[in-house]
Amino acid sequence: MNMLNAGEKRKVAETIKEVESRTDAELVTVLARRADNYLYISTLWAAFLALLLAPLMQFLPWWIEYQQAFTLQWILFIALALLFRWRPLTMVLVPKKVKYWRASNLARRQFLEHELHSTENRLGLLIFVSQDEHYVEILADRGLAEQITNESWQEIVENFIREVKRGKTGEAFIHCVEKCGLLLEEAAPATVVKNELPNHLVLL
């Protein structure tokens, strides 16, 4: 998943503005490069593999003393810790459940930080995407959740992911906002002129 260029960001903002003109709901989109640096995961892997060297020390050449073997263990740990900080390798080492858990937590923090829980009539909606985790989630406040099913949001998320896999990240964002707009317009059609929250794509 690629970060959006300036033109795509502008188109997303324009689409959000157009959608919000037809609904009382407030929409915020957030694109994060990653939900966590996962340094603790890479460090744990390095420590685990370095510790595995201990049982193998009996097979080292006789002229290598214990102190030297201990030093080798430390060198291995440091080398692996640095190697595992390479982003593509880090993401391979992190379990999918952990990645999704961290991304989900960040999505909920963003929902609160952008005060989507305090909009008039509880009509806030967050479209959240975390690039490195390949994670997409749509969070709707109570006023929308009572009228739009989770299955409807999930269908939009699945379509988003399919488009991204075809290398159409920018188009995926726009289509996602448009499809959300159709649901929002039906559930909460515009009755007043408002713009409580920013229209631009928030980048983390």
Last residue of a domain, one of 47, 64, 93: 93
pTM here is 0.77
- Domain tally for the chain? 2
Say yes or no: 163 and 130 in one domain. yes
Q: State how far the Cα of 40 lies from the Cα of 37, in Å rounded to an integer.
A: 8
- 1 found inside a domain: no
Say yes or no: 123 and 163 in one domain. yes
Say yes or no: 197 and 99 in one domain. yes
- pLDDT tens digits for 72-103? 777 777 887 788 778 888 888 888 888 888 88
> Residue 147 belongs to what domain range?
6-36+95-203
- Average pLDDT over all residues of the chain: 78
Say yes or no: 109 and 119 in one domain. yes
CA dihedral sign of residues 106, 109, 115, 121 = positive
Measured in degrees and rounded to the nearest 5, phi and psi for residue 127 equal -105, 115
| Contact status, residue 33 vs residue 204, Cβ threshold 8 Å | yes
- pLDDT tens digits for 7-24? 777 888 888 888 888 887
Say yes or no: 72 and 116 in one domain. no
Strands 124-130 vs 135-140: parallel, antiparallel or unpaired: antiparallel
What CATH code is carried by the domain that includes residue 178? 3.10.310.50
Location of structure tokens 């915020």: 28
